[in-house]
Amino acid sequence: MCNNNVDCSCFSRIIERIIGLQQQGDSLNDFGCDRPFLGNIISNLGLNTRPITFYGNTGEQFIFPYTLNGTDGTSGVFRVENLDDCCCRCRILAPNPDATATIPYIATESFFTINLNCICAMQCLGDTFVSGL
């Protein structure tokens, strides 16, 4: 359940930084969700997404449905697209069905908006390239 008395600024600052990185990139050395570059220290060529996951106050991971190429599925991995105060618009990333591919996720055309006051934890996954953006 959302707690409207919680200040979402810690999440919104991180998400704002991720959006900026996905739009233009950066090249400083640091680690974590708000690491100021996409990719690893050695190479950041071709990476355009910092996938994230959200968790509620009881530890449950947020999972949303999507449809991709006529197939329905669910995923708990997202790409942040936009931020408006405490409301974050995310694109659902589907797992790549090709197990031999080096690209772990496929962009869907499924989106949701989440109130950052409703999350208790956010996890950043390894930076990657996502096609179809």
Each residue of 38-73: pLDDT tens digit? 655 545 557 889 999 999 989 999 999 999 999 999
Assign 21 a pLDDT band (cuts: 50, 70, 90).
confident
Q: With contact defined as beta carbons under 8 Å apart, do 80 and 15 qualify? A: yes
Confidence class of residue 26 from pLDDT cuts 50, 70 and 90?
very low
Residue 4 lies in a domain: no
Q: Is residue 20 part of a domain?
A: yes
Query: What is the number of domains present in the chain?
Result: 1
Q: Is 49 domain-assigned? A: yes
pLDDT given for residue 10 in this prediction:
76
The boundaries of the domain holding residue 13 are 9-124
Lowest mean pLDDT among 2-11, 60-69, 119-128: 2-11
Q: Phi-psi bin for 17: left (phi > 0), alpha (psi -120 to 50), beta?
A: alpha
> What percent of the chain is predicted at pLDDT more than 90?
47
